[in-house]
Amino acid sequence: MREAVRHISDFIFLYPLLMSFVWMIGGLLFYYRHERRRFQAPPLAAFPMFSILVPCHNEEVQIGETIEQLLTVTYPNYEIIAVDDGSTDGTARILKEMCDRYGIVRAIYLTSNQGKAAALNIATLAARGELILTLDADALLSPDALHWIAWHFEKFPRVGAVTGNPRILNRTSLLAKIQTGEFATIIGLIKRTQRILGKVLTVSGVIAAFRRSALHAAGYWDTDMVTEDIDITWKLEKQFWDVRYEPRATCWIYVPETLKGLWRQRMRWSQGGVEVLKKHHNIWAHWRQRRLWPVFLESAVSVVWSYCFWGMVLLWLVTAVFDLSVGVTPSPPLPPQWTGSVLAMTCILQFCVSLCVDRRYEKNILRYLFWVIWYPFIYWMISSFTVIFATPRALLKKKGARAVWKSPDRGLAKISKRVAQ
Among the residue ranges 7-16, 96-105, 129-138, the one predicted with the least confidence is 7-16
Does residue 6 form part of some domain?
Answer: yes
Residue 419: per-residue pLDDT: 43
**Which residue would you say has higher pLDDT here, 413 or 366?**
366
SS3 84: strand
Q: What is the mean pLDDT of residues 37-43?
A: 82
Distance in angstroms between the alpha carbons of the first and the last residue of the chain:
58
Does residue 421 form part of some domain?
Answer: no
Does residue 204 form part of some domain?
Answer: yes
DSSP 352: H
Q: From CA 369, how far away is CA 345, in angstroms rounded?
A: 12
Structurally, the chain folds into a number of domains equal to 1
Closest C-alpha among 252, 219, 237, 220 to residue 289:
237
Contact 137, 65 (CB under 8 A): no
Residues paired with residue 82 on neighbouring β-strands, in sequence order: 54, 107
At 207-237, the pLDDT tens digits run 999 999 999 999 999 999 999 999 999 999 9
Does residue 402 form part of some domain?
Answer: no
* pLDDT at 83 > cutoff 80: yes
At 273-286, the pLDDT tens digits run 999 999 999 999 99
Residue 157: per-residue pLDDT: 95
**Which residue would you say has higher pLDDT here, 401 or 84?**
84
Among the residue ranges 61-65, 104-108, 262-266, 399-403, the one predicted with the least confidence is 399-403
* pLDDT at 418 > cutoff 60: no
Q: What is the mean pLDDT of residues 67-88?
A: 95
Task: Quote the pTM value.
Answer: 0.90
* pLDDT at 322 > cutoff 80: no
Does residue 362 form part of some domain?
Answer: yes
Contact 145, 164 (CB under 8 A): yes
* pLDDT at 26 > cutoff 90: yes
* pLDDT at 238 > cutoff 70: yes
Q: What is the mean pLDDT of residues 312-337?
A: 66
Q: From CA 147, how far away is CA 54, in angstroms rounded?
A: 19
* pLDDT at 327 > cutoff 60: no
Domain that holds residue 174: 1-39+156-397
Does residue 393 form part of some domain?
Answer: yes
Residue 178: per-residue pLDDT: 76
Does residue 410 form part of some domain?
Answer: no
Does residue 288 form part of some domain?
Answer: yes
Letter for the amino acid at 148? W
**Which residue would you say has higher pLDDT here, 137 or 12?**
137
Contact 114, 86 (CB under 8 A): yes
Specify the DSSP element, H or E, that contains 79.
strand 78-85
